Structure formats: C-alpha cells, structure tokens
A and B are shown apart, each in its own frame.
Chain A
Amino acid sequence: MFNILKRKNESPVLLVVIATGISSVATQLLTIRELLAQFQGNEFVIALILFSWLVQGGIGTFFSQLYIKRGSPSAKFLCFLSLLVASLPALQILLIRELRDVLFIHGSSVGFYHTFAFVFFTTAPYALLIGFVLPYSLFVLRAFRPDYPGTYVYMVDNLGDIAGGAFFSFFLVYFFSPFQSVFISNIFILGATFLLLLNSGVGHIKAIAGVCVALTFLVSGIFLEKESLLPRKGSLAYYKESKYGRIAVHKDKEQFTLVADGVPVFSNQNTSNAEEDIHYPLSQVSATKNILIISAEGGIMEEVEKYHPKSIDYIELDPEVSGALFRFGLLKNIPGLNVINQDGRSYLAHADKIYDAIIINLPEPETYQINRFYTDGFFYLARKRLSPGGVLSFSMEGYDSYLAEPQRQKISSVHKTISRHFTNVLLLPGEKIYFLASQNPVNADIPGLLDKKKIKTDYISNFFYGNLTEERIRNLNELIDRSAPVNTDNYPQLMHIMFSQWFAKFSTSPLVFILLLSTVSIIYLFCIKKEEFVLFSTGCMEMGTEVLVIFAFQIFFGYIYIKIGLIITVFLAGLFPGAWAGNKIANQHNKFSRTSLVISDGILILLTILLILIFFKGGDKIPLSVFLIYGFLVSMTCGFQFPTALKLMGDSNPSVTRLFSADLIGAAAGTLLISVAIIPYFGIIWAAFALIGLKLISMIVMRLSKA
C-alpha cells in the first residue's frame, strides 16, 4: 500500500488527500466547538451540526460526479481546490463568530430552524468542498492511471482523518487557540498543494503566490482571534480554550461574569443564587462536617463558611473553570476547601468519604453528559455517599408564576427518579426550582431554620416568605405528576422532555423538518443501489455505535476527555485496516464479494448484540480496552465493506462517488437518528436493536439480490 506514495505523479495527489483528511477532521471539530459556543449546546444542536456536515459532504461528493461529466480532471484544478480547502476554515470560523450577531439579535438565543439554517449555510462551502475534493482526487489519479483503485483513496483519506482527529484531540486542543489550530492543521495541505503545483508544471513563483494567498487567510485568522471574541459590553478579562470548551470571563465595570461556551453562567454580584444554593440544603442538616459541591455558583464559599465545615470537596470537571473562578474572585478560598478536577459522577462512584450534604450546581440536562446527574443511577450513588441525615440538593430551571407543561414533566420525572432513593423530597419554587432530598424530614421554613442556627443572610431572611409563600410551595409540590417516567442511564427520558421544552420556548415544532427529511430519505433510499444501501447502513452503524459507545462510557466512567478522545480515534482507526483487508479479499476472491458483504453485515450484527450484552452484564466493570477493541472491530468491519461494495459496483468513477455519498449520508442519518430520535425516546438498548434491524435489512437486501 505504501508503495503508492512513491509514485511520482500519484504521490503529491495522495499527500493532498491525506492533508485534506487532516484539515477536514480538525476543522470539523473546531467548527463544532465554535457553533456550540454560539448556539444552544444541546444534543439536538450537536447532532444537527454533524448531520449538516456529513450530508453536505455527501452532496459535495455527488457534485464531483456531475462536474467530471463536463470536463476532464486536472491536477491544477485540484491544486486550486486544495488552496480553497486551506483558506476556508479560518473564514468559516470568523463567519460563524461574526454573522451570529448580524443575523440574530445580540444576546438572544435562537430556535431550531434558525440554528439549522445558520449551521447549514455557514458550513456548506467548506463541507461541500471537502466532499467534492475526495472523489476529484481519484479522478485526477485516474487521469494518470485509469485503473487506479478507488479504495486506495478511501484508505488514504482515512489515514488523514485518523491523523487529523488524533492531532487535534491530543495535541492542538491542549496548546492552541482555534485560529492557531486552524493554521497548524492546514499547513500540511499547503505543503502538499505546493508539491502538487510544482508537479503539475506550475512555475515556482505562481506556486508560491498561490500558497501565500491561502497562508495569509490562515494568518489573518490568528490576528483576528481575540477581536472576534470581544464582548459587546465591557472587556474580555480572561479567555481560554480548554479541552472541554470555551471559557471566558467578561468584565463590565466592577462585575466579572464567567461565560462558558457563550453562555453567562454567573457573576460575582449574584448573592441570592449563592444563598439559595447553600442555605436551602445546609439549613436542613444538624452537623455540617463534610460537604461535597459538584460545580459551583459565584459567591457560594462565603455562604458555606458560615457553617464552619471541616472539609469542603469542590468538584469541577474543567480545571480552567475552577482556576478562573478563584482568579477573578467569583469563588473564595476558604479553610477546608479541597478542589478536585474530575467528573462528579466518576468521583462519587469511587469515593469512600461520607458527606453531610451533596450540593450540585449543574446546568439543565440538555446533553447526555449532564443527564447522567439526574438519573436513577446517580441518585443511588449520591444516597450511598450521604450520612443518614444527609441532604442532596440541586436545582433546575424555575419559573416566576406558572410552571409550563414540558417543565412540569421534566420536574416530575426527576422527582419520581429521586424519590426512589430518598424518603423525603421537597421542591422549592423560584427563579430556580430546588430539590432537597433526604432520609430525614425536609423543612420548607428555611428562614426559621437559619434563625435557629443564627445564620444571617441578605436574600433569604428578607425575601423568602414573600417569594416562596406556603401556597406557592404547596402548588408546586401538588403539580408533580406522580406517574411520570423514571429517568435512567439507559433510558434518558429527560432528554426528549428537554427537546420538547426547547421547541416550546421558540414556539416551533420539528415536524416540518422530520417530514422533509423523511421524504428526502425515502426518495434517496429508493434511488440507490443495493450496494449503496449496504454502505448507507454501514455509515449509519459506524456513527450510531460510536454515539452508543461514548454514551455508555460516560455513564459508567464519567466524562474523561482523553479516554473519549481515544474511543473516537479508534472508531476512525479501524477503517484503514478494514479497507485494506477488504480490498485484498475483493481483489483475490472477486466472486465472494457479495458473500463478504453479507458476512460482514452479520459480524456487525453480532458485534452490536455483544455490545448489548456488555451493557447488561459488564456495566462499570468493563475495562476501557473493551470499548477500544469494540470500536476498532466495528470500524474495521465498516471499513472492510467499502472496497467490497466498490468491487461489486465496478469501481467506476460514478460508483466511487455514489458509494462515498452513501457512506456519508448514512453516517449523517445514524447521528441524527440515534442521538436525538431513538435514545431519548426508546433508550439505549432499542437504539442498538434499531442498528441491528438496519443491518438485517441490509443483509436481506444483499441475500435476495443474489437470488
């Protein structure tokens, strides 16, 4: 295989393909981070971004086939395209940052359709181009050697993808800002294009000029990095891209506000929230020796200090967040405080300390990552780590005067879930709805409890009885639907309720999108050949199982960046050896190609059944290596199918583009179906069964076609 890189005419083109893979994966990851910093970071939006990207890649691939019908491929045009590939990422990120305030009202969040349109159009030029370049590179290679195997390009592209993914996840994200990362990840394509330009007979000066133009785009981005992040009001006191997201501290006059992924989380002047977070739970317990705080709220430590606890373990996943909070006075370092930078759930699973209070300050369960803190499994863990009279407290989005229906369902589901583990659960209404859970009775008269403890507060002492009247507290607790579903790790009910709440907030429904997508999908599925369907289902399987495995890993082990990065990398890494093996077998045993596809489909089905068994039997005892081996085997089998299907379709230019498209569109469908349609509504096991079902259909299609 590596001999192909030594051929004079072919090697510069293949280097461009590898470099395109590096650029595209790094840019995709950067774009996701950028869009999440501009829009709602819920699972729906994450899936939309991946969906748009993959579909556009598929469309771009299809366009290349149309284009090639009109003219012959040329290495020079490929050079031009590659320079565009190198230039566009910086422009794309700038556009995402700047267009948001041009198209939407500054400071406002936007709903589903606006988000989708924005994502689709801002990513379209680059994603279409990436989809176009890959098959076009093959056409250029075939101009030198007409029988050039399409699988080689697929494999080389995979190499680039793996390199790009690993390079970004394990290197760039740690040390560089987005524009610096764009610059570094696109240097390779500039180098490869320069070689190709020279190889194509373009003069040195023109080649240098072309590369310089692209280079200046990349450099410009670095210069505009800070400027494009400046807040409209005040100044940017701190900015850091951590591996978990974008952390900024905005300073407006004397106020510092922590902004995480574009959302103001809290500021140093919100005393009422800090008081509620701390005094609601701590007023309930007689002894407050050991306190566990999972994620913070500005100003809470001053309130905790009033109880003179022996130890306070403060868990914050991102060290950049806790660092910034202390640096800008949003949190005070008090005696007994111990900062632990770890996933909160993972900490609880392995800790042996017993706490008098566990106080959680997490955002709404909009992602699978956060949902893990509102499940049956989590409340079980929390109960185990609490002293007999200990209290667990957390809050969810509240209301002023009326509890809307999706919110009522959400609160009810959490109430039902937590009530399985705690005898007494009290809900307190307000700007946030507080859950107080304990085995001991929970008292709603917080000011009375604080009086007994001689603890003074600004907000609670003076506003509580007016804002949280007995009637309001009773009304909220009476509104709870006792028949609401339990939110479990494997069956995350809250996710679809969160989606409903999001759609309700913007008075929209995803129905039009679903109908449109279903219509297009049906038309597409009727138009494609059986081999394309196999690859469509394979793309679906690859992305679907990746989502499932990451989801399961997070449930069992917590959000451990480096390990999740590894899982994603092995899901890419298996494609290359799989394709290599598939190509070899397809070349040597051509007549067995159809059978190979059926068998490999069967292997994917068996692997998914195995995954279900692992989930059931293993749980948190599964070692990381199992996830890695599993991911590698799935992607290897998926990689195996591409050359096999290509062999069956004849390896012509149209066949290659159609199969590339099918794979990408399948991956897009898999992302959307599994993460936002099946898991939230039917749970993780049914999601796995859905993938099995899809592969069974693919198997039957291939078997019947043989008959």
Chain B
Amino acid sequence: MNRRQFIYGTALILSTPVSSHAIWPFSRKKAEVQDSDNIRGSIFKGDAPDKQGKWAHEAFLYKKLDNNKVLCGICPHRCLLSPGDRSVCRSKANIDGILYSLSYGNPCTVNVDPIEKKPLFHFKPQTKAFSVAAAGCNFRCLNCQNWEISQAKPGEVRHIELFPEDVVKAALKSGSESIACTYSEPVSFIEYMLDISRIAKEKGLSNLWISNGYINKEPLLELCKYIEGANVNIKSFSDDIYKKLNGGRLEPVLNTFKTMNEKGIHFEMTNLVVPGYTDDGEMVKRMCGWILANLGPGYPLHFLRFFPQYKLDRLAPTPLSTLENFREIAMKEGIHYAYVGNVPNHEGMNTFCHNCNKLLIKRKGYYIPEYNLSENRCKFCNTVIPGVWGKNIKAI
C-alpha cells in the first residue's frame, strides 16, 4: 500500500457512519465532566469614582499597603486594589489609598416580606422581615434571581437614601420584627449592614443575613455579634460547580457554617437543585455527611426547585421527584429538618418533630393553618425544636 492509498483508505474508514459514532469527539459524557471554566469575577481596573460621594463610607477591615494600594479583608477574594480600582463585588473602591464602601445608605430595593420567603422556617414564623439590599455581589451566579442588582455597581441602579437609623425606623413603622439584608449579597455592603444591625438590636429588632456565605472569618465574627438568624446558600457540594456556576469556592462557605455554629447563630441552609449540576444524589449524601459531622442534625436544610433564570435559562426546572428524593436522602442520613422549596403547597414544606414525627407546623404558602409548638418545644413529646420561635403564634 502506498502513501496515497493509505490516506484514501483512512479517510474512507474514518468517514463511515459506524466509525463516526466511535470517534465523535464531543460525546455527552465528555461534555459532562468538562468543567475547566471558572467564572470568578475580576477587579475593575480604574473604575472607581473620582470622589467619595455621599454614600461612601470607609470600609471595614482592610489593609493599607505601599503605593496607596489596599487589601480588602471582607471576603475570600481579598481584592488587592490600586488607587482607582473597584473590587470584584463592585461595591468597594480604592480612592486615594483609602478603601470605601460605595453603598452605605443607598439601598436599591426595600420591601416587607414574609419571613418564610427568605426562606426561614424555624425563625419567628409568620412575622414580617423588613428587607433591604444595595447593589453588588462577590459571586457571578449564572442563575441569579436578582442579577439586576447583584451584578450592578451602586451607581448604576436607582436607589433610595436610607441611612441605618432610617432603616430601623422604617422597619419599626412597617411592623416588621426583623431586618433582613438580602436579595443581592450583603457581604458586599457589610459596613451598612453592621451599622443597621447595631441600631436594630438596640431597638429590639432581629437581624437576618441572607447570603452566599462567602465571607472571611474576622468580618463574620463581627457580624455574629448582631445577627440572630441567617439563611446561607450551600450552592453545591462541589468546588468545581462553585467555580463554574457561581464564581466562588466551596471551602470558605463551609467555614462560614462552622463559625456560625460555633457562635450559636440560628441558620438555615438552602441548596438549589440545578438539573445536570447539583442534582446528584451522591453529592447530597456527601453534603449531608459533612453537615452532620461538622454542624449536627438540627439546622434546617431547604432543597429548592430550580427555574430557568438569568443566564442559566436553557435548563428545564427541577423535577419534583428529585427534590422529594433529596429530602428523603437528607432525612435518612440524619438531618432532622429537610424541606422542599419553590413548590407551592408541597408536603415537604411542613415541619415534623424529629423525635415523635408528628406534624408541628403545617404550611400553606405563607400561612400556617396548624401550629403545634409550645414556645420552642413539640406540643406532643416536649422535644426542643431548634430555631428561634416567636410567642403567641396563631394558626391561620
């Protein structure tokens, strides 16, 4: 066989229908494991405002370095900013060697929400949470529900002037029992949140932190002095998926849970079940194993249904049975309180006593038609139910 014959022969073989199946390079399995993408955000070079502006407030916890550079210490990104640079979260900027938070007192959205919407199922049920958010986030989640504010700079959004004292006044006026820093990522406006929390605590309001948990230990410890409840996302139990879908890392989030556990803060965890990414039963088992080993069985875990959102809009919603299955897995593994979320009136929204298995709280949307807790104990077996329970809760 000469060279030419060899080339012809090879071409013929390679192009047969049968071989095309065998050699086709982009088979499904290969695409599934291929996840080298990391969508981590980057610093915005030279994007800082020239002047501090009305809503600039010197940042909490940063280090001044040579040549007017600064190192932000709030989150694991640890942004090293030269003068004129803006942080990954878009909310902080180095102006002449000083790190400023740019979203102090200028929230872009304020609402009064049912606490169950956060979701917080074990924290003062049926109360209202005065919810505040400023622009910015240290993640780049492809499925962000609030991308309009989380992926925007403070100057790019409409905002309301509401300094910490005003927030607390407005919360009290609205009849809310708590103030929730939520929607975008409160870590990016921690200075504002801390000041609100200090005043709110003095006035008898609870402080809630609804977050991705991507924060360093030192600022978290400061925050723990004021917050009473939190809902922190555990977006997946895979560092690769964190990099690919969220632009973050898993380990710092796990550390956040450990710290809050040590500090005795009530928190609930939410896990969004994204088809093709986080809908892996084995991963859920590993996640539950870690929770049990490090935090114990008492913290509620919510499995939320995914809907196509923002940039991740070409995936189907999560099948209900996947959520039900995960709830079962979690409870079998030993988690006492596992819930199904984003599914109207699902049985998995109800709370059952982990000791006697009787129905403690029946939920219909944001209503509670049945409530069987006496203060923080099961009415049937007197077991203490973890959480922060309100007084005089009536079934509606």
Chain A interface (Cβ within 8 Å of chain B)? 94, 98-99, 101-102, 105-110, 209, 212-213, 216-217, 219-220, 222-224, 227, 230-234, 250, 252-255, 257, 259, 262-264, 267, 269-272, 399-405, 407, 431, 458-459, 461-463, 465-467, 469, 471-472, 505-507
Q: Which of B12, B39, B116 contacts A212 (CB under 8 A)?
A: B12
Q: How far is the CB of B1 from chain A (nearest CB, A)?
A: 14
By Cβ-Cβ distance, the 10 closest A-B pairs, closest first, are A462-B365, A466-B366, A404-B148, A98-B26, A107-B315, A255-B319, A220-B20, A257-B316, A216-B15, A253-B319
Residue-by-residue, is B299-337 near A (CB-CB < 8 Å gives 1, otherwise 0)? Answer: 000000001101111111101111000000000000000
Q: How far is the CB of A202 from chain B (nearest CB, A)?
A: 13
- Whether A252 contacts B114 by the Cβ 8 Å rule is no
- Whether A259 contacts B316 by the Cβ 8 Å rule is yes
- Whether A400 contacts B183 by the Cβ 8 Å rule is yes
Q: Which of A264, A401, A466 contacts B365 (CB under 8 A)?
A: A466
- Whether B365 contacts A461 by the Cβ 8 Å rule is yes
Residue-by-residue, is B213-238 near A (CB-CB < 8 Å gives 1, otherwise 0)? Answer: 00000000000000000000000000
In the complex, whether B96 has a CB less than 8 A from a CB of chain A is no
Task: Determine the chain B residues whose CB is within 8 A of the CB of A110 once the complex forms.
Answer: 311
- Whether B28 contacts A230 by the Cβ 8 Å rule is yes
In the complex, whether B393 has a CB less than 8 A from a CB of chain A is no
Task: Determine the chain B residues whose CB is within 8 A of the CB of A404 once the complex forms.
Answer: 148, 152, 157
Task: Determine the chain B residues whose CB is within 8 A of the CB of A109 once the complex forms.
Answer: 311, 313-314
In the complex, whether B266 has a CB less than 8 A from a CB of chain A is no
- Whether B148 contacts A272 by the Cβ 8 Å rule is no
In the complex, whether B352 has a CB less than 8 A from a CB of chain A is no
- Whether A233 contacts B314 by the Cβ 8 Å rule is no
Q: How far is the CB of A440 from chain B (nearest CB, A)?
A: 29
Docked pose: A92 CA to B218 CA in angstroms: 54
Docked pose: A234 CA to B275 CA in angstroms: 10
Q: How far is the CB of A506 from chain B (nearest CB, A)?
A: 8
- Whether B149 contacts A101 by the Cβ 8 Å rule is no
Q: Which of A108, A255, A465, A507 contacts B312 (CB under 8 A)?
A: A108
In the complex, whether B113 has a CB less than 8 A from a CB of chain A is yes
- Whether B111 contacts A472 by the Cβ 8 Å rule is yes
Q: How far is the CB of A464 from chain B (nearest CB, A)?
A: 8
Docked pose: A231 CA to B316 CA in angstroms: 10
Docked pose: A257 CA to B276 CA in angstroms: 15
Interface residues of B in 82-131 (CB under 8 A from A): 108-109, 111-114, 116-117, 131
Docked pose: A265 CA to B116 CA in angstroms: 28
Docked pose: A504 CA to B364 CA in angstroms: 37
- Whether A220 contacts B26 by the Cβ 8 Å rule is no
In the complex, whether B55 has a CB less than 8 A from a CB of chain A is no
- Whether A471 contacts B366 by the Cβ 8 Å rule is no
- Whether A466 contacts B116 by the Cβ 8 Å rule is yes
Task: Determine the chain B residues whose CB is within 8 A of the CB of A102 once the complex forms.
Answer: 26, 31, 34
Contacts A105-B312, A109-B313, A230-B28 known; list 12 others, CB within 8 Å.
A102-B31, A105-B39, A105-B245, A222-B17, A253-B319, A254-B320, A255-B316, A264-B317, A267-B317, A270-B317, A402-B148, A469-B111
- Whether B28 contacts A272 by the Cβ 8 Å rule is no
Q: How far is the CB of A469 from chain B (nearest CB, A)?
A: 6
Q: How far is the CB of A601 from chain B (nearest CB, A)?
A: 46
Q: How far is the CB of A207 from chain B (nearest CB, A)?
A: 13
- Whether A233 contacts B15 by the Cβ 8 Å rule is no
Q: How far is the CB of A320 from chain B (nearest CB, A)?
A: 19
- Whether B31 contacts A106 by the Cβ 8 Å rule is yes
In the complex, whether B262 has a CB less than 8 A from a CB of chain A is no
Q: Which of A230, A255, A465 contacts B366 (CB under 8 A)?
A: A465
- Whether A459 contacts B365 by the Cβ 8 Å rule is yes
- Whether A462 contacts B111 by the Cβ 8 Å rule is no
Minimal Cβ-Cβ distance residue in A for B365: A462
Task: Determine the chain A residues whose CB is within 8 A of the CB of B133 once the complex forms.
Answer: 401-402
Task: Determine the chain B residues whose CB is within 8 A of the CB of A405 once the complex forms.
Answer: 158
**Given A98-B26, A224-B21, A471-B112, A402:B157 Cβ within 8 A:** yes
Minimal Cβ-Cβ distance residue in B for A250: B316
In the complex, whether B6 has a CB less than 8 A from a CB of chain A is no
Q: How far is the CB of A623 from chain B (nearest CB, A)?
A: 41
Docked pose: A85 CA to B181 CA in angstroms: 60
Minimal Cβ-Cβ distance residue in B for A231: B316
- Whether A272 contacts B344 by the Cβ 8 Å rule is yes
- Whether A217 contacts B319 by the Cβ 8 Å rule is no
- Whether B114 contacts A466 by the Cβ 8 Å rule is yes
Docked pose: A107 CA to B364 CA in angstroms: 32
Q: Which of A223, A264, A462 contacts B367 (CB under 8 A)?
A: A462
Interface residues of B in 144-174 (CB under 8 A from A): 145-149, 151-152, 157-158
- Whether B365 contacts A505 by the Cβ 8 Å rule is no
- Whether A216 contacts B116 by the Cβ 8 Å rule is no
Q: How far is the CB of A386 from chain B (nearest CB, A)?
A: 30
In the complex, whether B345 has a CB less than 8 A from a CB of chain A is yes
In the complex, whether B375 has a CB less than 8 A from a CB of chain A is no
